[in-house]
Amino acid sequence: MNTKQLTTKDIELAAGIIAGGGLLGIPTETVYGLGANGLDPRAVQSIFAAKGRPQDNPLILHIPGADWLEQYCQEIPAAARQLAGKFWPGPLTMILKRKDNVPDAVTAGLDTVGMRCPDCAVTRQVIAAAGVPIAAPSGNASGRPSPTTAAAMLEDMEGKIDAILDGGPCQVGVESTIIDLTVTPPRLLRPGGVTLEELEEVLGQVEVDEAVRRLMAPGEQPKAPGMKYRHYAPKAPVTVVKGPPEKTAEYILCHMGEKSGVICFDEFREGFSGYPVETLGPVVDQRAQARHIFEALRAFDRLEVTDIWAQSPADTGIGLAVTNRLNKAAGFRIIEL
């Protein structure tokens, strides 16, 4: 299959691919997604095939506005409307009770469905023009870091999807926050672009699922099925070093090998000259760190490195999402100084 490259002018063409049961790479503010008609079980099945994704891992539905919620969800709590009012369009996915018209192929048989309204006008226009919600996981091959540019998505999906709509680089850089509103108190299943602190301001108490901060033991079931899989991992093993940035930089310099790669804050780049280095952004700029983390991980797959050492960002604010992705990429191999 020849994967067409579309621009933001090709809304009708893109909508036609969705309506016709095809696969379309879609830009969002978080990461690129691999979209298909969320009401067509066959189209949804082909997402799993293109990604090599396990069948028990449900997909989220993308809609152009909160007014579409009722078509696909029931028993919608007041909190959902409040959160949608405050954070949509934006990087928040809400788990709600589904209606019967949502195919099992989307929810992996669960009686709930993840709903998200992306902060990307062109993608909302494509959904509205297609007239159906778009089911879309992140546009990476299963297990690889999520793509934050069309080029990164093509590395994994060229020849496997009908087209990709290039909307430029993603502004957030880590996936949406997932909050389960079918339980009391609401539970954070995946940290993302909307922070835990922001959710607590609206919801009061929020429980954080165990899978956010630690490795699941064999047989343990996190509430978001996707959180149990090895994820985001580059080919070379990653070690995360946590502590004051001056100390972590020094530690890495002392312990790295001749062919090691480094992920560090901008301030420490020079200290690693001569080695392959990917920078996250300045120590204090957590939004920049979120934008760069996946590209940093992907970059090392284009180089020959034996292992990768990473300075750990702080885990407050959006840093909880960045450290979650980095720790997962490292299989939770973390050194605390």
Binding site for Mg ion (CB under 5 A): 138
Binding of ligand TXA by 112 (CB under 6 A): yes
The Cα–Cα gap between 217 and 45 comes to 29
Binding of ligand TXA by 114 (CB under 6 A): yes
Binding of ligand TXA by 95 (CB under 6 A): yes
Residue 279 interacts, among ligand TXA, Mg ion, none and using kind-specific CB cut-offs from 5 to 8 Å, with none
Which CB, 127 or 178, lies closer to ligand TXA? 178
For residue 170, give the nearest of 146, 187, 194, 190 by alpha carbon: 146
State the minimum distance, in angstroms, from the CB of residue 222 to ligand TXA: 8
Which CB, 15 or 153, lies closer to Mg ion? 153
The Cα–Cα gap between 92 and 195 comes to 9
Mark the segment that binds ligand TXA (CB under 6 A) among 28-36, 254-262, 299-307, 316-324: 28-36
Residue 113 interacts, among ligand TXA, Mg ion, none and using kind-specific CB cut-offs from 5 to 8 Å, with ligand TXA
For 227, residues 6+ apart whose C-beta sits below 8 A from its C-beta are: 189, 190, 209, 211, 212, 216
Binding of ligand TXA by 113 (CB under 6 A): yes
State the minimum distance, in angstroms, from the CB of residue 46 to ligand TXA: 15
The Cα–Cα gap between 87 and 91 comes to 7
The 31-50 site mask, x for binding ligand TXA (CB under 6 A), equals x-x-----------------
For 115, residues 6+ apart whose C-beta sits below 8 A from its C-beta are: 60, 61, 63, 69, 72, 73, 93, 94, 95, 96
| Radius of gyration of the chain from its Cα atoms, rounded to whole angstroms | 19
Residue 58 interacts, among Mg ion, ligand TXA, none and using kind-specific CB cut-offs from 5 to 8 Å, with ligand TXA
Whether residue 189 contacts residue 227, with contact meaning beta carbons closer than 8 Å, is answered with: yes
Mark the segment that binds ligand TXA (CB under 6 A) among 67-75, 151-159, 173-181, 283-291: 173-181
DSSP-based three-state secondary structure for 236: coil
State the minimum distance, in angstroms, from the CB of residue 114 to ligand TXA: 4
Mark the segment that binds ligand TXA (CB under 6 A) among 78-86, 110-118, 242-250, 326-334: 110-118
- Within 200-229, which residues bind ligand TXA (CB under 6 A)? 223-227
The 228-257 site mask, x for binding ligand TXA (CB under 6 A), equals ------------------------------
Q: Which helix (H) or strand (E) holds 290?
A: helix 286-299
The Cα–Cα gap between 136 and 165 comes to 14
Binding of ligand TXA by 290 (CB under 6 A): no
Q: Which helix (H) or strand (E) holds 255?
A: helix 245-255
Instruction: Give the DSSP letter string of 28-86.
Output: -SSS-EEEEETT-HHHHHHHHHHHT--TTS--EEE-SSGGGHHHHEES--HHHHHHHHH
Binding of ligand TXA by 298 (CB under 6 A): no
Cross-strand partners of 26 = 33
Summarize as ranges the residues that interact with ligand TXA (CB under 6 A). Answer: 28, 30-31, 33, 57-60, 91, 93, 95, 107, 110, 112-114, 116, 118, 136-138, 175-176, 178, 189, 223-227
